[in-house]
Amino acid sequence: MFACVYAPSSQQATLLAIASSFSPLVEDTAPGMVIFSIVGLGRLIGTPQEIAATVARRGAEAGIQANLAISADPDTAMLAARHFRGITLIPPDREAERLGALPVHVLPADADLIETLDRWGIRTLAELAALPELGFIARFGETGERIMRLARGETHRSLLVMTAPENYHRRIELEHPQRLLEPLLFVISSLLNELMQGLSFNRVTLKLNDVPRTLEFPVPVRESKVILKQLQFDLEAHPPQSAIVSVEVQLNPTEARVLQHGLFIPQAPAPEKLQLTLARLTALLGEGNVGSPELLDTHRPDAFVMRAFSAEAAAAPIQPTAIRFAFRYYRPPIAAQVRVKAERPVSVNAQPILTAAGPWRASGDWWTTAPWDRQEWDVELSNGGLYRVYQASQRWFLEGMYD
């Protein structure tokens, strides 16, 4: 037996709370409507009438104005609760009789089907139930069969039981404040192992003493040791400020990565291994020194930003230009002693200039707080190298070398 509570003006959470207080099998059917099983309540409360009275009393205590229907089938109970005021009890095998007076437009069917029934002169569920079953199903297919069974009170479906959302969140209070990293990682490892269980995650939030730190992963990770190692690098790079008394781990689940490798596609770095390698490289060399460069849309020399490297990057067709030299930067530029004669540089750091081309004047970003303005020269020195020197703010710099 199932009970359906219909209260369109009430909070869904209140309805679910009332339903859950009677049964663990609760269906969150629609806004303002819940259905729950009352099987087994007979021994606790009594007859269906007494159960209905108890549910109604509980609802009244919560300040809910609702319709209540009890039936052997959830769909029958749902129709009755939606369209009969107050408490409705439908004994088994009396469904067609009780629902018969309802108009056909209450059925869950599309407007065309209802209009067809209307044209046939079928106005109520009782009239629908009286139609020949095979002919009706032959015309209207699966939907026709469903509404026919509903009109006859012959549906027998199971509840879509509401389950609490999975919680990927664990917290542990330590008995003694922990200052060392290794025992702390042991605690974090046990929490991760408990949470992960072969599922994939793309974000982890670690709270030490309620101070959060979040790591995002470009591809789903399903191995706890990969996350643990990255947390270790992060903790080593940014150690906590005080001894740890509480550890909290929160994971964000995501769809597992499915990848079909091609026989003739060049090998790419394995994502899990790559993430660990990138974390290790960042720990070794510092942030901003590992990644993929992305050129900025500006004329400012050496303008790029370092983006996170990802082996998922799709190949993009690049049109090469016929370059005949490459450049190597000195970062930061080296201050140089340049001797100038007749407005042309003649030596750099006491080395005579064999050939000089320039000046190439450039400026930009004058509308920002970091304007730049310089004049460049390409100079061939007596050591054989071809360098780029520039003058900015009355000072000379060696920017790099052509190679």
Partner 1 sequence: MEALPKGAISEIFGCVSSGKTLILQELLASASARGEFCAVVDSCSAFDPLSASRAGMDLRRLLWVRAGQRADHRIDRAFKAADMILHAGGFGVVVLDLCDVPLRDLNSIPLSYWYRFRLAVENTPTSLIVTGDQPLVKTCARVQLEVKRERLLWRGPVFEGIDFEIIPRKARIAMANQDLRMAG
Report helix, strand or coil for 130: coil
Closest distance between partner 1 and the C-beta of residue 112, in Å?
52
| Closest listed residue to residue 243, CA positions, set 183, 326, 163 | 183
Tell me the closest approach of the beta carbon of residue 277 to partner 1, in angstroms.
4
The least CB distance from residue 305 to partner 1, in Å, is 10
Which letter does DSSP use for residue 124 in this model?
B
Quote the least distance from Cβ 264 to partner 1, whole Å: 9
Alpha helices, DSSP H, located in 94-160: 95-99, 111-120, 125-129, 133-152
- Residue 384 zone, left/alpha/beta (φ > 0; ψ -120 to 50; rest): left
Cα Rg of the chain, angstroms: 37
Q: What string of DSSP letters covers 227-261?
A: HHHHHHHHHHHS--SS-EEEEEEEEEE-PPP----
Nearer to partner 1, 50 or 287 (CB): 287
Q: In this complex, which beta carbon is closest to partner 1, that of residue 42 or of residue 269?
A: 269
353 with 363: CB under 8 angstroms? Answer: no
Residue 376's closest CA among 396, 393, 401?
A: 396
Question: Is the Cβ–Cβ distance between 281 and 290 less than 8 Å?
Answer: yes
Q: Which is nearer to partner 1, 169 or 299 (CB)?
A: 299
Cβ 345 to partner 1, closest distance in Å?
A: 14
240: exposed, middle or buried (Cβ count in 10 Å: 0-12, 13-18, 19+): middle
Token pair, residue 232, equals: 């270790």
Going by DSSP bridges, is the β-strand pair 87-89/67-71 parallel, antiparallel, or unpaired? parallel
Q: Which is nearer to partner 1, 103 or 358 (CB)?
A: 358
Nearer Cβ to partner 1, position 132 or 384?
A: 384
Of 184, 216, 183, nearest to 201 by C-alpha is 216
Residue whose CB is less far from partner 1, 260 or 319? 319
Which CB, 160 or 308, lies closer to partner 1? 308
Please check whether residue 211 is in contact with residue 240, taking contact to mean a CB–CB distance below 8 angstroms: yes
Interface residue list for partner 1 (CB under 8 A): 265-270, 273-274, 276-277, 280-281, 284-286, 289-295, 302, 304, 306-307, 309-311, 313, 315-316, 318-321, 323-332, 355, 357-358, 378, 380, 383-386, 400-403
How far apart are CB 397 and partner 1 at their closest, in Å?
15
The nearer residue to partner 1, 164 or 318, going by C-beta atoms, is 318
CB of 387 to partner 1, least distance (A): 8
- Closer to partner 1 by CB, 310 or 347: give it: 310
What contacts 116, CB < 8 A, 6 or more positions away? none
Nearest approach in angstroms of CB 396 to partner 1 is 19
Cβ distance 336 to 389 under 8 Å?
Answer: yes
| Closest CB 263 distance from partner 1, rounded Å | 13
Give the C-alpha separation, 391 to 403, whole Å.
21
